[in-house]
């Protein structure tokens, strides 16, 4: 029996898992941001609620583990930032600790229990506030020891022009320190940035997608340009990984016509041809981070 956690900047969600089919949620608790002792105590409170001392624990977190030093970058939780978290928690709790990025956990959840079931290579894509991804091969994370595999949202990959007729696309600066990343134009904030560029109008991504589905020409132009910009880098990622299914999570995954438009454009740009949808909404709509963390711990995927 294991305990898994989905660590967010505002709350820690936990669950007890005995198998992939038996994942039972625990009480949601506030995340201690600046006190590591309080953070450890919060995890221990979950053990007390569960009534067990688990064999191991696994954490899904919006951070990246350095595969060389095992230090985690998680800027929104200062008490964890740049800490070798698996080692420090393991020493404090006296048990093995597994940690994976939340996008990786989404990919693992989809591979095990979602749209990726039966596929050998699953590339999970996040289109939320930003762009992320995770890669699973043969049921295991490529990032078993940490690292940046699957992060197709970063790197100067955005085309200089897009749409029909073509429009010039600036290389917008990205939070990662580079310019021209897919993250700058590819998800919710990127959609809003594109709409402002094309129409000098400030709208939320929800307003843009709603107007598009209602037939608004301006919103349709924004979506056309976004799909054009996103599809080529995603097609390249699929060519490189050989993924045969690409589940999508994040807020924009609920806009089914958008996912279908990206799927159509991507399938026209990849080497292997599919006569079925390749880019699909994720099926693990509730707590994919917890599901992925549970699968991480149940398989002991420490590679």
pLDDT at residue number 224: 98
pLDDT tens figures, 227-274? 999 999 999 999 999 999 999 999 999 999 999 999 999 999 999 999
pLDDT tens figures, 17-31? 988 888 899 999 999
Domain shared by 75 and 139, yes or no: no
- The number of residues in the chain equals 303
Q: Is residue 112 part of a domain?
A: no
Domain shared by 66 and 171, yes or no: no
pLDDT at residue number 146: 84
Instruction: State the CATH number of the domain containing residue 235.
Output: 3.30.420.40
Q: Is residue 24 part of a domain?
A: yes
CA–CA dist 257, 242 (Å, integer): 25
Q: Provide the domain count of the chain.
A: 2
Domain shared by 15 and 58, yes or no: yes
Domain shared by 154 and 247, yes or no: yes
Structural domain including 37 reads: 2-104+286-299
Q: What is the DSSP string of 70-111?
A: --EE-TTSTTTTTB-HHHHHHHHHTS-EEEEEHHHHHHHHHH
Domain shared by 202 and 230, yes or no: yes
Domain shared by 45 and 17, yes or no: yes
Domain shared by 188 and 227, yes or no: yes
pLDDT at residue number 303: 42
Q: Is residue 195 part of a domain?
A: yes
Answer whether the bond into residue 165 is a cis peptide, omega within 30°.
yes
Domain shared by 28 and 151, yes or no: no
pLDDT at residue number 247: 98
Domain shared by 134 and 201, yes or no: yes
pLDDT at residue number 19: 87
pLDDT-flagged residues of the chain (< 70)? 300-303
Query: CA separation (Å) from 301 to 78, 143, 265, 269?
Result: 27, 10, 34, 34
Structural contact between residues 133 and 150, judged by C-beta atoms closer than 8 angstroms: yes
Q: Is residue 109 part of a domain?
A: no
Q: Is residue 110 part of a domain?
A: no
Cα dihedral value 77, 109, 71, 69, nearest 10: -170
CA atoms within 13 Å, Cβ hemisphere of 112 = 24
Domain shared by 122 and 170, yes or no: yes
Structural contact between residues 29 and 42, judged by C-beta atoms closer than 8 angstroms: yes
């Amino acid at each position: 029996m294991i305990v898994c956690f989905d660590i967010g900047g505002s709350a820690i969600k936990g669950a007890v898992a005995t198998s992939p089919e038996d994942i039972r949620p625990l009480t949601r608790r506030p995340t201690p941001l600046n006190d590591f002792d309080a953070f450890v105590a919060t995890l221990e409170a979950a053990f007390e609620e569960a009534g067990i001392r688990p064999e191991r624990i696994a954490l899904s977190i919006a951070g990246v583990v350095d595969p060389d030093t095992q230090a985690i970058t998680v800027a929104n939780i200062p008490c964890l930032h740049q800490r070798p978290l698996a080692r420090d928690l393991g020493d404090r709790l006296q048990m093995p600790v597994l940690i994976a990025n939340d996008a990786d956990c989404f990919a693992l959840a989809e591979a095990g229990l979602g749209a990726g079931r039966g596929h050998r290579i699953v590339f999970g894509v996040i289109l939320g506030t930003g762009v992320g991804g995770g890669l699973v091969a043969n049921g295991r994370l490529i990032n078993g020891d940490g690292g940046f595999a699957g992060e197709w949202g970063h790197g100067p990959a955005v085309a200089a022009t897009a749409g029909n007729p073509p429009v010039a696309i600036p290389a917008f600066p990205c939070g990662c320190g580079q310019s021209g990343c897919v993250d700058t134009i590819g998800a919710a904030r990127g959609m809003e940035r594109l709409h402002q560029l094309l129409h000098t109008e400030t709208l939320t991504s929800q307003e843009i997608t709603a107007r598009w589905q209602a037939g608004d020409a301006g919103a349709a132009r924004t979506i056309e340009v976004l799909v054009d910009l996103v599809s080529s880098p995603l097609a390249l990622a699929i060519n490189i990984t050989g993924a045969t299914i690409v589940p999508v999570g994040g807020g924009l995954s609920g806009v089914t016509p958008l996912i279908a438009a990206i799927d159509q454009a991507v399938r026209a740009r990849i080497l292997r041809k599919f006569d079925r949808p390749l880019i699909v909404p994720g099926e693990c709509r509730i707590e994919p981070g917890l599901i992925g963390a549970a699968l991480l711990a149940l398989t002991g995927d420490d590679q």
